[in-house]
Each structure stands twice: as C-alpha cells, then as structure tokens.
Amino acid sequence: DTITVRDTGAVATIDGGSGSDTITIANTGAVMTVRAGMDNDVVHVQKTGGVASIDGGSGNDAIRLGSGVGTVDGIDGMLTVNGGVGTDTLVIDDSGDTTANTGVLSSATIDGLGFIGTTTYLAMEAVEIELGSGADDFTVVTTHTGTTWLDGGAGADTIEVQRTSGILTLDGGDHGDTIDVLDTGAIATFYGGAGNDAITVRDTGAVATIDGGSGEDTIIVQDTGAVLTVRAGMDNDDIHVQKIGAVASIDGGSGDDTIRLGSSAGVVDGLDGMITVNGGVGTDTLMVDDSGDTAANTGVLSSATIDGLGFTGTTTYLAMEVLDIALGSGADDFTVVTTHTGETRIDTGAGADTVEVQRTSGILTLETGDGDDVITVRDTRAEVTVDGGAGADTITVRDTGAVATFR
C-alpha cells in the first residue's frame, strides 16, 4: 500500500497491515500513531503537531524523519520510533538546514537540531543522522548497540563523541571541522572530509580508523585500542600519535606531512606495539620525540626501522624525506646500523651517551648535547656532521664518505 496523510485532526491512527507499505506523513494533529505492520515498509514523517508514535512492526523497515527539503524543524513534539522486528534503519534528515544547530544523541534519544521535543528510538539496527550546512555543534553522549552513521554536512562543525556502544562512522563533511573523541566502543571510523580539520582522539576501542580527507588537517591520537589506522589524505597534514595499544598504521598521503611519535611530555614508552609509518607523496618528516625521557635507553636505527627507546615493538618507516630523532637526558646507547636515503637528524640530548654509526646511505646530522659522550663512526656514504656539544667527548672516525664535519 501507498498511504499519504497531508493533515489530520486531533487523533489519527495508521495501520499498514501486511505487505511492503510506503507511508508518508506530511502533517498531523495532536496525536498520531503509525503501525507499519508486516514486511519491509518505508515510513516518512515530515511534520508533526504533538505526540507521535511509530512502530515498524516486522520486516526490514526504513523510517525517515525530516521534510521533503531536509529539515526537522517541523517535527513539533514528543516522537517515539520503534523499529520492531527485523533490520530497521532510522534516518534523521536535516541535510537541507542552513542554520547553526545544536544537537545531542544518546543510546535512545535525539534532541535539538530543530526538534521541539525529544525523539526516542528503540529496536533500531542502524541510525543515520545528516546535518546541514550551518556550523553545527553536535554531541554524541553514547550510541545504541547497532550501527550509527553521522554526517556533519557542509559547515565548520564541532562534534564531540563522549562514548559509543556500537559501530560508529562519523563524516565531518566539507569545511574545517573540529572532532573530539573521548572514548569509543568496538569499531569507530572518523572522516574529516574537505577543509582544514582538527581531529583529537583521546581513547578508542578495539579498532579505530581516522581519515583526514582533503585539507591541511591536524590529527592527535592520545590513546587507542588494539588496531589504529590513520590516513592523513591530501595536503599538508600534522599527525601526533602519543600512545597506541597494539598495531598502528599511519599513511601521510599526498602533501608535505609531519608525523610525530611520542607523548606530549616527550616520551615514547606508551607506544606499545607494531607501528608502520608511510609518508606517501611529498616532503614528509617523521619525528620520534623521546626528549623528555630521563631513563638510560638503548636504541637501534636502520634504513627502515627503529627499535628500543621505550618502543615495545618495531617502528617501521617508509617514504620519509626527513627522520628526526630526539633522545632524553639519560645515558643512552644508540646504534645506527644504517640510515635511509633521505636526511636523518639525531639529537641525543643531555647525558653521557654512547653512539655508534655503522653505516649511512643519506645525509646524517648527529648532535650529542651535554655530557661526556662516546661517538664512533665506522662507515659513511654521504654527508655527515657530528657535533659533540658540551662535555669531554670522545669521537672515533674509522671511515667516511664524501663530506664529513666533526665539532
């Protein structure tokens, strides 16, 4: 059946019965009840006057809230949507709204966005929320246990995700968005979209994916679960990963990207697992910041890997033009087995450090800072600069390539 209700009196009840029904509610009076019935139904509520109740019944139903031009401002009152039995989808369509709205999503309710009252949803397998072109402020207090998809649309939106209970996909849309993620459940995916976005992830569940999209994005990951994937996308991006759970993959994409590993205090001890960093296209810089570490660490650098220094697993780096490693104030023991073909800069910081350079394939600048350091250079194939800094340093050079400078 196809049922269209353009306006009703005080009380209206619609029962679709059996069959795949299409029910459109253009406007209602004070009280409306919709029972879609059996089979796969489509229910579209554009405007309500007071209290409305929608029950999808059995079947895989699609229930859409929003006018024909994509605004929810006309839904005036308390609305309850029950998906019933089957795989049901609730769509909140505010995509045509040009005003800057505030909205709040919980595991069972939606407030704001132009809704006059609270919208309650039950037994939904998927919830899709489409925001408009205004600079919206949207808070996800938590999600239901199914799938939630949130599209920020155009506009410089501010979105905060406090917690999730199911699968979450968040797309910031066009313009520069600010996305702050406090905690997530099992699987979460965040797309910055177009524009210069700021994405901060404070903690995640088992699997998290961050895609910056186009624009010059700033991505900060403070802590993650088992698996983290970061794709910076196009343009010049800044990525800072402070802590991980087990496996992390970071891809700079195109543009001149800066990727930093280490906490805000300058230690890498919280990076617990296997990390792969691919600079992608452009002039990319990988910064390993252990400058705040006071412990005496051992570390090993090769042309593609970094081990030790507090890293629990191996860090693999690819397609990087510049590698910058900053050690702490402890008496560190650092070995350069070989370097990549780009530029490598190592600052061992304060402390009586021991550094051995076995071989190089690109430009190497080594600064050992304060302390009585011991430096041994065995073989270099490109330009090398060694600055012992303050202290009674011992520098031994066994063989060098084209250009070597020692201070």
In which band, very low, low, confident or very high, does the pLDDT at 328 lie, cut at 50, 70 and 90? very high
pLDDT tens, residue by residue, 151-204: 999 999 999 999 999 999 999 998 899 999 999 887 999 999 999 999 999 988
Contact predicate 109/124, CB 8 Å = no
Contact predicate 157/195, CB 8 Å = no
Helix H or strand E segment including 80: strand 79-82
Q: Distance (Å, rounded) from C-alpha 381 to C-alpha 304?
A: 17
Residue 185 is predicted with a pLDDT of 82
pLDDT tens, residue by residue, 348-378: 999 999 999 999 999 999 999 999 999 999 9
Q: What is the mean pLDDT of residues 380-394?
A: 89
Q: What is the mean pLDDT of residues 85-99?
A: 98
Q: Distance (Å, rounded) from C-alpha 279 to C-alpha 311?
A: 20
151-154 contacts, C-beta under 8 A, 24 or more apart:
151/95, 152/177, 152/193, 153/95
62-65 contacts, C-beta under 8 A, 24 or more apart:
62/88, 62/89, 62/91, 63/88, 63/89, 63/90, 63/91, 64/90, 64/91, 64/93, 65/90, 65/91, 65/92, 65/93, 65/119
DSSP for 306-359, written as a single string = EEETT-SS-EEEES-SEEEEE--SS--EEEES---SSEEEEE--SS--EEEE--
Alpha-carbon dihedral 18, 20, 22, 28, rounded to 10 degrees: 30
pLDDT tens, residue by residue, 218-263: 999 999 888 999 999 999 999 999 999 889 999 999 999 999 999 9
Residue 398 is predicted with a pLDDT of 84
Q: Distance (Å, rounded) from C-alpha 81 to C-alpha 73?
A: 17
The pair of three-digit structure tokens given for residue 118, joined into one six-digit string: 């609270």
pLDDT tens, residue by residue, 110-138: 999 999 999 999 999 999 999 999 999 99
Amino acid, res. 160? E
In which band, very low, low, confident or very high, does the pLDDT at 55 lie, cut at 50, 70 and 90? very high
Q: What is the mean pLDDT of residues 4-8?
A: 82
For residue 407, is pLDDT > 80?
Answer: no
Looking up tokens 């309850």 gives 80
Quickly count helices (H) and strands (E) in the chain: 0, 40
Q: Coil, helix or strand for 361?
A: coil
Q: Coil, helix or strand for 23?
A: strand
In which band, very low, low, confident or very high, does the pLDDT at 58 lie, cut at 50, 70 and 90? very high
Q: Distance (Å, rounded) from C-alpha 199 to C-alpha 187?
A: 17
CA of residue 54 relative to chain centroid, distance:
35
